[in-house]
Amino acid sequence: MSVTAPRVVWFHREYARLTGGHVKHAHYFEHVSRLAGYSRRIVFDGAAVDECLGRERAALWPAACGERATRWQPGERDILFLAGTDWRYHAQSGLDDIGIPHVNLIQHVRHGHPGTELHGYLDKRAVRICVSEEVADAVRATGRANGPVLAIPNGTDRSPAQVDVNGSVGFDERAETVTIVGYKRGDLAAALSRRLDEQGISHLALGDFIGRDAFLGLLERTRIAVCLPRSEEGFYLPALEAMAAGCTVITLDCVGNRSFCRNGHNCLVAEPDPESLARVVGHAAGLKPPNRRRLHANAADTVQAHSLETERKRFHEVLLDIDRLWEETAPPARSSVAPAGSRQPGARHVDFMIVGAQKCGTSALARFLAAHPAIAMAAREGHVFDAPDYSTDWSAAEIDRRYARRIDDKPGAALRGESTPFYMYLADIPMELRRYSRTLKLIVMLRDPVERALSHYAMERGRGNETRPLWLALLAEPWRRWRCRDPRAPESAARRHSYRSRGLYSVQLRNLFAAFPRDQVLVVQTEDLLQRHDEVLEKVFVFLGVSVSVRVPPEIVFAGVDLGGKHALMRWLLRLSFAKESRRLRAILTAPGEGPG
């Protein structure tokens, strides 16, 4: 009985100093050792520069007997793993014409910059794994990638810190008040250090790389970590590691962090100047325990969602499917107009979603769209991404399977859609929608936030979920939401008692626009649908790319409790409380923007 030899994945590294890119490369080297039927080999260029680097290299890439090699000697079933400028070694090894699968790990958006060395390598045939959706977008946008482009968001091997009522456990006892992680932005780090000195704020500034163990240990002794990535970072892992260590994280906006760094949710985002950074440091130092606890708890959830185990599972899926992927050419761009009675090959099960807001006429719009012969709509709200058991481990195929049970086939339908207005409200869902389908189209319905809040309150009263009078329910809302540990739970305050917060449309739209280009998001005013039914539906049909010759008769959009003239005082107070929000919303709706970078 013959035994099939393991399939070897060949790695290469030139190691002169520790960088985040080396750490991630080492993670993928480790991932191979966890998959049955696969083995690994690694070639290092030259000897370690000194004893310290030698120890670091051995710790990052612990190679057992037989896993070290002096040069690449792949067999016909083997796989080559390349990252960064490994393509130089590939050419030197005379492997340009070898026909075995290549996996190319891409960690930076520089690959999308014409004229750079990394951009030139996109012509090389490979299955490309990008460390974030933003990097994948930059690579796809070049139109040069020879082979499929996949996104596997970076994971960390760090477990999230425990959180108590005051924030991360032991937070107040940490020795370092502020640590500036500034080795990528040396000038900015030095300027911030001077500003903090002027303000008498104790801090430590890292202007260069230190050993990985030393760095992680420092984070665990730090209260406030100021992480300074370059603006075009592919995925700035130190920010995620600082979240895992239980720090209050301050960072800058950068391309690859937009999918996991949420200002005011799990970190604080400052402008890239010393004055703004110092101001945010002061704000972070003065956070009250409940606010700090919420920030740290959300950061812990983010770390959990970006576990190394999740990254490993997705990479294993690639390896197990590598032969098909290797033969696959890049799929053609999807047409903006759906051909009548046909679906695009390889399309996801859901083409568009009505994602919000609740009590804004979303159910009525879903019924109107279901009446179009080219559209198949879910009979009820889908509730897939907000399900209590939802996991970021779910693949797009798994999500498709769940939607297949919710959306019946419709003869002649070219598009499938669903409506779940809770999707817009949860901060983590837009990026999960993007992970599911980059071409997904989203429809948002907005209603006067005061009337929306009152309608929401009346609905919960009618269901028996609200016993407080309106004024007390509004007063208790922040406290109820603060106590809510799991917003996805069926009876959570986020679902039932978010009367005012669901009307804060600006932050929800900003979240959507960070995940999707604006031309994939259509905002519909409920009042417009009521007053100009045919005109608004035609606009929606054009957005979806279906025939506008279909007329759908109007119906009553809002059916429920008529509040009449009740709550006049509360209406006035609510309108007053939404004044600033109304200005923010107007600014977002009128601002030009291209969506995610």
Sequence ranges of the domains in the chain = 7-151, 163-306, 352-448+502-559+582-590
Question: How many angstroms separate the CA atoms of 422 and 134, rounded?
Answer: 25
> Which residues are paired to 33 by β-bridges?
none
Is residue 1 pLDDT above 60, yes or no? no
Q: Tokens at residue 64, please?
A: 């057992």
How far apart, in whole angstroms, are the C-alpha atoms of residue 352 and residue 441? 4
Q: Which residue has the higher pLDDT, 97 or 328?
A: 97
Quick check: helix, strand or coil at residue 296?
A: helix
What secondary structure does DSSP assign to 322-373, as a single string?
HHHHHHPPPPPPPPSSPPTT---TT--S--EEEEE-TTSSHHHHHHHHHTST
Domain 7-151 is classified in which CATH homologous superfamily? Glycogen Phosphorylase B; (3.40.50.2000)
DSSP state of 221: T
Confidence of residue 557 (pLDDT cuts 50, 70, 90): low
Mean pLDDT of the 115-140 span = 90
Percent of the chain with pLDDT over 70: 92
Q: What is the pTM of this model?
A: 0.58
| Average pLDDT value for residue range 497-514 | 92
Integer angstrom CA distances of residue 487 from 301, 362, 484: 12, 21, 6
pLDDT tens column, 349-359:
899 999 989 99
Task: Over range 360-364, report the average pLDDT.
Answer: 92
The whole-angstrom separation of Cα 512 and Cα 432 is 11
227's tokens: 């992480």
What is the pLDDT confidence band of residue 249, given thresholds at 50, 70 and 90?
very high
CATH number of 163-306: 3.40.50.2000
Q: Which is higher by pLDDT, 543 or 45?
A: 543
Q: What is the average per-residue pLDDT within 63-88?
A: 93
Q: Which band of pLDDT confidence, cut at 50, 70 and 90, is reported for residue 3?
A: low
Structure tokens at 339: 């051909």
Q: Judge whether residue 335 has pLDDT over 50.
A: no
Is the model's pLDDT at 5 over the cut of 80? yes
3-class secondary structure, 390: coil
Number of residues written out for the chain: 597
> Is the predicted pLDDT of residue 189 greater than 60, yes or no?
yes
pLDDT digits (tens, 9 = 90+) for 153-187: 899 999 999 999 889 999 999 999 999 999 999 99
Q: Where are the alpha helices (DSSP H) in 159-288?
A: 186-198, 212-220, 237-244, 274-285
In the numeric block, which tokens belong to residue 525? Answer: 């005013």
Q: DSSP assignment, residue 194?
A: H
Confidence of residue 592 (pLDDT cuts 50, 70, 90): low
Q: What is the CATH number of domain 352-448+502-559+582-590?
A: 3.40.50.300
Strand pairing class (7-13; 79-83): parallel
User: Would you say residue 597 has pLDDT above 60?
Assistant: no
**pLDDT confidence bin for 593, thresholds 50/70/90:** low
Same fold, 7-151 and 352-448+502-559+582-590: yes
* pLDDT (0 to 100) of residue 258: 81
Task: Among 212-216, 238-242, 256-260, name the most confident range.
Answer: 238-242
**Which residues does 71 contact at the CB level (< 8 Å), separation at least 6?**
43, 93
Q: What is the largest CA-CA distance in the chain?
A: 84
What is the sign of the dihedral through the CA atoms of 422, 427, 428 and 431?
positive
Higher confidence at residue 430 or residue 54?
Answer: 430
Q: Say yes or no to pLDDT of 343 above 80.
A: no
Q: What is the mean pLDDT of residues 562-588?
A: 83
In this structure, of 4-8, 53-57, 344-348, 373-377, the range with the lowest mean pLDDT score is 344-348
pLDDT tens-place string over residues 462-494: 899 999 999 999 999 999 988 887 889 888 999
